[in-house]
């Protein structure tokens, strides 16, 4: 079985929406908040369910040219099986590992608009993208 680096508190997630959709809060990597009891060094491990930091769970603005008047939506991620441990667990919950790229979805609640006088709404209610974990851990691995 392959092994991969364990994701810890303050490691990052980078979410990239497919162009031309832009959500400014997703431009830079965002630190994860771990809920695990186990530690790597002094850092708690991230568990399945910690994939989306609290700071990204609230609705956020977005644009999608030619709809340049911002709208609002929420992001969600669906980590792949390669992003969680298969055997090692913390409190019976799989730990997150670096793994590969996985799916991100941006669900529009208030569509972006074309600027006046047109003011037409963005017709696409669900935007797609990808996410990847970024870790400083180069020592601790798990299956």
The pTM assigned to this predicted structure is: 0.93
Nearest one of 3, 26, 31, 10 to 106, comparing CA atoms: 26
pLDDT in tens, 84-106: 998 889 999 999 999 999 999 99
CB 122 within 8 A of CB 71: yes
Q: Can you say whether the dihedral through the CA atoms of 35, 37, 43, 48 is positive or negative? A: negative
Angle at 48 between CA 45 and CA 52, to 5 degrees: 90
Higher pLDDT: 107 or 143? It is: 107
26 by DSSP, 3-state: which? helix
Distance separating alpha carbons of residues 121 and 88, to the nearest angstrom = 47
pLDDT in tens, 22-33: 999 999 999 999
Q: Is 58 exposed, middle or buried (0-12, 13-18, 19+ CB in 10 A)?
A: exposed
pLDDT in tens, 101-130: 999 999 999 999 999 999 899 999 999 999
Distance separating alpha carbons of residues 107 and 57, to the nearest angstrom = 12
- For residue 134, the tally of other CB atoms under 10 A from its CB is 14
Nearest one of 50, 59, 43 to 111, comparing CA atoms: 59
CB 129 within 8 A of CB 18: yes
């Amino acid at each position: 079985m392959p092994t991969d680096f364990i994701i810890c508190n303050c490691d990052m997630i980078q979410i990239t929406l497919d162009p031309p959709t832009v959500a400014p809060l997703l431009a830079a990597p965002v630190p994860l908040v771990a809920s695990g009891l186990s530690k790597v060094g002094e850092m708690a491990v991230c568990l399945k369910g910690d994939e989306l930091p609290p700071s990204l769970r609230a609705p956020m603005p977005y644009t999608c040219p030619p709809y340049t008047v911002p709208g609002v939506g929420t992001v969600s991620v669906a980590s792949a099986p390669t992003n969680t441990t298969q055997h090692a667990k913390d409190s019976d919950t799989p730990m997150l590992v670096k793994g590969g790229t996985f799916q991100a979805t941006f669900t529009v609640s208030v569509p972006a608009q074309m600027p006046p006088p047109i003011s037409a709404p963005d017709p696409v209610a669900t935007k797609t993208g990808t996410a990847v974990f970024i870790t400083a851990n180069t020592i601790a691995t798990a299956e």
